[in-house]
Structures are given as structure tokens and as C-alpha cells.
Structure 1
Amino acid sequence: MSFLSSLFGINTKKNKAITSLNANQFKTAIATKNVQLLDVRTVSEFKSGHIKGAKNIDSFSSAFNSEIEKLDKQKAVYVYCKSGVRSKQSAKKLAAVGFTEIYNLKHGLLSYK
């Protein structure tokens, strides 16, 4: 246990299940593979435009945990939001429930367009 984690209860270890990708890496990966693509923005944000093939599960929704349980834990999940904050938090939740291959779009859709 590191000094920071013991003093503040901060998890300073990087989760090995989560990989952050820049926009080009993310685009290439989702274009060349059959993936689970997850948009964790609100329904209204999703309706205003999203990456083709994405499933919308609002990270703020009370149903978020039950909805992610319906995804295939054996298959890679590619997750994004507007700026990368919600998707990073969602990636941690995915890892906590047993997903082992999670890719987060660094800086979200703002970097993707």
C-alpha cells in the first residue's frame, strides 16, 4: 500500500483492465472489430449525435449497474462520453463487476470529431 493510499484511501494503482485510447486508436479499433460500444452520456446527448453502433447507457441512471450486467463480460467494451470523465468512471464500474478488457476514449467525443 502506498503512502497516498494509506493516508487518503486513494487507489493509486492503475487498473489493468482499462486502457485509454486517443481518438485515432479508438476509431481504428471500433472499425476493425466487432465490439461492444457503449455511450454513457444522457439520452438527450445520445440523441443529439453518437458513434454509429453505440448502445446508450446513461452513467447517471439508477439502472446503469443492471444495464451493464446485460453486456458480455468476455468481450471487449469500448466506452465513451462527451469529455472522457464519465467514461473513465464508467470504465472503473465495468472493471469492478468483472469486465477484463475495457477501452476508454480519452477526452471523449470532443476529441473524436
Structure 2
Amino acid sequence: MLVGLAGASAVLLGAAVLPAAAAPSPEPASAKGVAALDCPADVWLDPQGNTFGVKCSGNGNYKFRATAVCRNGQTVYGDTKWATNVWSYAYCAGKGGLTSDVGYEYWRAR
């Protein structure tokens, strides 16, 4: 499931689904599972507008990664992590910086 954040500085009380511009993620989770995932627990942007980070808490029962669309049109992905209160970062340095099209993907563990 690809979940987007409306505006990079938005506080996430609810998340919106991004358009299918990015590559589909394998083994997507149900959209109904978003509230139960504790993701994102926090989001971060660097002051230069090149890096987007997302932290997901939980008991490690799902994987996630940060996603972002850079100003040059390229979609970038952070490292895939187990949700154990850790961060994943998507980098747009050298690609024109971040657009407002940032978010995260997540997968349930089997």
C-alpha cells in the first residue's frame, strides 16, 4: 500500500492514498490496516528539502519504506525496514530536491 502525505510538513492524523505514479509495491496491505499500523509515528524533512524520513513504531509485524518524488520526476525509495520504531529515508539530493509528493509503503509480514 502506498500512502502519501499531503504537504511535507503535515501532521498525520489521517493519510491519503497517492496516485499510482510510483511502481506498485509487492504484497500490499489493506488500506483498512493503516490506522492499526502505528505508521507513521513521525515524519521528518531536512531544512534543504532534499530528504524525507518516516518512522514507524510497532512490534515488527510489518515492513515499510519512505517514498518521494523528486523534482526531476524520479521516484526514490528509502531502505525497507521492520516497523520497530526505526526510520527510513528517501533522498532527492542531486535530483532537484523533494516535491510535495512524499509518503510511505508498507507490507504485512506473512
Q: TM-score, normalised by structure 2?
A: 0.27
Flag the structure with higher strand content. 2
Flag the structure with higher helix content. 1
Larger radius of gyration: 1
Q: TM-score, normalised by structure 1?
A: 0.26
